[in-house]
Amino acid sequence: MSRRGGISRRSLVIGLCGGGAAAGGLTLSAAPAKADSVIRIDDKSAGMPINPFIYGSNEIGTMDGNGPSVDFDRKAGATIRRLGGNLMTPYNWLNNATNAGKDYRHANGAFLLGVLDVPKEAWREPAAVVEAFLANSRGVGARSLLTLPLAGYVAADFDGDVTPAQAAPSARFLPIDWSARAEGEDKVNIPALLERLVARHGGAASGGIRGYYLDNEPGLWPETHPRIVSKPVTIKSLIDRSLRAAKAIKAADPDAIVLGPASWGATEFVDFVKASDWDAYRGHGSFLGAYLDAFRQESERAGRRLLDALDLHWYPFNRRGNLFRTEGATLASAILDAPRSFDESGFCENSWVADALGCRPRDGLFLPLLPSLKQIIDEKYPGTALSFGEFNFGGAGLLATGLAIADVLGRFGRFGVGFANHWGSLDGYIGEAYRLFRQPDGSGECFGDTALPVAGVGADVSVFAARSQSSGRLSLVALNRSEKLAQLELAFASGRAPALRGVAGFDQANRSFAELAERPLPADGGAIRLVLPPRAARRYSFA
């Protein structure tokens, strides 16, 4: 995505989160006669911890054409960064070549070296791409997650287009090797890479790479990488490869987390895109169920957990148009509705995904997605975290995208998602959504780290409450998806409204996240009244 004009930015100081300056906002002299919704905050609850690694990003270098993605990660306060995507499936760590697959002429080349701006004198240094990624993460104080290949072959050269006649096995590719030792120059050994990385950077427990993905979107390999995967992979083959790789990762670094299968979407979740051996696994209810059960059984035999996080990719769809990176105002309402598919019972999105999964609770997968995934995890492999290695809800220049991303982050936090990494630079309104949670108020605190229960929210408003474990202070994020003012009355389980310390946010008039002059209004019975401008995001900090 190219940089959009007109989105003002101010200097930000980002530590754990950044700083802010006061700006204008909505001012009311008296409370409206009646609130649209009464929101109940259970400030007496112990709450649920919010995993800080839901505020993650993907390392895409300069792919978006608007500068290095790490610069936006720094401003947004990203906590964890992933090196993944289609280019990592055929990445050869020995010479740093990769194959672009269908994304660009099925060519072998220096694509990753280029977008990560690796100096040319370092191009032939083993794992130079990985080292550049790790340096970027360290520079912004974020942890790192690395994708490792399972598809079978990686690029052997930098010689451009690969014809169908040159498809693997051929001289244009080298096979990958997951054995415990390297077996000559005709293979690319992955455990040797793991050993190298642990020796250079330490293990996960001592600040090294936090974890490893078992490749990327395997159900699409024949489409995205036809020069290395000529026909669909079976479920059995993927599970066998994944188990072997997980054991090798745990042998190299027992504290590193393993994330898989990095599935691309609903049809892969259900039956691995109509896999030829689906009937043998149908009894598990879904491909994800079969995958989890296989890891549970093998982990029990191995005496240690081999899969730490069930990793999925989530890109919303709508029959009205393509939502991916769109900045079309006509699709704004579809983008704003899309996060509801994660956890809102009774909402059924207008897309083929709803057709594939259904919108009623049942055995197996259904919408809303998060409760059904929790159900499968609890049944098949309890204790497995949820991860979204890629997600995208529209283009950075669209206000609706910023509101949707804020809505997604809030839902991930209150549901206990373990890891999440946005695909695409954290530019424009996307970065503002991250700052809504990650940038501190005047006393140095950002959105809390313990989610509190919230009840009474309507279809046009999302409200997320959190408490800081260190200070005990309460914070609230409120999002108005409507094109009208939203009038909210906040009631607290304690019966007493806490004192306000500050208000910050963004909207059409305040296009960068900033402190605002708005103040809640008193209401009866120890409640307070909030009035949100149309399509606005606010964070309220309380004492």
Q: Which conformational region is residue 303 in: left (phi greater than 0), alpha (psi within -120 to 50 degrees), or beta? A: left
Q: What's residue 54's pLDDT?
A: 98
Is residue 19's pLDDT more than 80?
A: no
Please state which CATH class domain 48-443 belongs to. alpha beta
CA distance 186 to 153: 11
Q: What's residue 17's pLDDT?
A: 53
Confidence tier at 180 by pLDDT (50, 70, 90)? confident
The alpha carbon torsion through 421, 424, 427, 431 (nearest 10 deg) reads: -20
Q: What is the three-class DSSP state of 70?
A: helix
φ/ψ of 272, rounded to 5, equals 55, 50
Q: What's residue 21's pLDDT?
A: 36
For the segment 505-526, the average pLDDT, to the nearest whole number, is: 91
Q: What's residue 9's pLDDT?
A: 26
With beta carbons less than 8 A apart as the criterion, state whether 170 and 228 touch: no
User: How many CB atoms sit inside 10 A of residue 526's CB?
Assistant: 13
Confidence tier at 527 by pLDDT (50, 70, 90)? confident
Domain with CATH 2.60.40.1180 in the chain: 22-45+452-542
CA distance 263 to 53: 19
Confidence tier at 182 by pLDDT (50, 70, 90)? low
With beta carbons less than 8 A apart as the criterion, state whether 246 and 306 touch: yes
With beta carbons less than 8 A apart as the criterion, state whether 225 and 101 touch: yes
Name the CATH superfamily for 22-45+452-542. Golgi alpha-mannosidase II (2.60.40.1180)
Write the pLDDT tens digit of every residue in 56-68. 999 999 999 999 9
CA distance 520 to 540: 9
Q: Which of 392, 378, 436, 91 is nearest to 264 (CA)?
A: 392
Strands 385-391 and 419-422: parallel
Q: pTM for the complete prediction?
A: 0.94
For the segment 267-281, the average pLDDT, to the nearest whole number, is: 98
Q: Which residue has the higher pLDDT, 465 or 442?
A: 465
Write the pLDDT tens digit of every residue in 20-35. 334 445 544 444 557 7
Nearby residues of 219 by Cβ (< 8 Å), 6 or more positions away: 232, 233, 263, 264, 267, 268, 272, 273
Q: What's residue 340's pLDDT?
A: 97
Q: What's residue 173's pLDDT?
A: 98
Domain with CATH 3.20.20.80 in the chain: 48-443
CA distance 335 to 96: 37
H-type alpha helices, 25-150: 69-76, 111-115, 128-139
Nearby residues of 342 by Cβ (< 8 Å), 6 or more positions away: 368, 369, 370, 408, 411, 412, 415
Structure tokens at 214: 């078992």
